[in-house]
Amino acid sequence: MKYQRLSKEQFEILAEEFSKFLAVHGIDQPEWERLQSNDGNRVDELLDEFSDIIWKGVLSKVSYLENLSEHFIYLFSREENGLELIAVEAQVAGLDLRTSEGFTWLKKNYLDERVIYRRATKAYSEDSYKDLFELIQKGAVITKGELYLWFKDWLDNN
């Protein structure tokens, strides 16, 4: 498996798609039930293959990721040759950017000298989807990029 097996809840949400996936493999409901009873290895292979297909489909549509921690916001943009990063660090004791209060403070005080900005570019490894997946595994969430684009515009013009 290349990524991670979907959870039971995710399989339940994607039940119709999974049923079609099994049909493409020539597996109907009675055959699926037989496999579940008698061929656990084949069941695992099918679950893993379907999971990888779903993950690859999701990852192919990712343009922006965000990862927030107590003092940092990491904003990623998926570009042709690598990931662009804007890192925002708030060096303020007791401030937690993951909370609405902390984020509101940052919005009002983004010019404060205790707010540090860094930019970087990282080339993809051999598998850009795997790179994106690893960021998600580390807590990044897929976004529409509003925050990244706002900071990029501001940094480019200042």
* pLDDT number for residue 105: 96
Q: What is the mean pLDDT of the chain?
A: 95
DSSP line for 23-55: HHTT--HHHHHHHHHH-HHHHHHHHHHHHHHHH
Confidence of residue 59 (pLDDT cuts 50, 70, 90): very high
Check whether 158 has a pLDDT greater than 90: no
Hunting for tokens 């297909």 — which residue is that? 53
Q: What's the pLDDT at 74? A: 98
pLDDT score, position 76: 98
Whole-angstrom Cα distance, residue 11 to residue 140?
22
Confidence of residue 6 (pLDDT cuts 50, 70, 90): very high
Q: Identify the pLDDT of residue 111.
A: 94
Please, which pLDDT band fits residue 121 given cuts at 50, 70 and 90? very high
* pLDDT of 156: 94
Task: Tell whether the model's pLDDT for residue 98 goes beyond 90.
Answer: yes
In sequence order, what are the beta bridge partners of 120? 85
Of the candidates 112, 132, 116, 138, the one whose C-alpha atom is nearest the C-alpha of residue 71 is: 116
CB-based contact 145:63 (threshold 8 Å): yes
For range 90-105, the mean pLDDT: 94
Residue by residue, what is the 3-state secondary structure of 97-133? CCCHHHHHHHHHHCCCCCEEEEEEEEECCCCHHHHHH
State the pTM of this model: 0.86
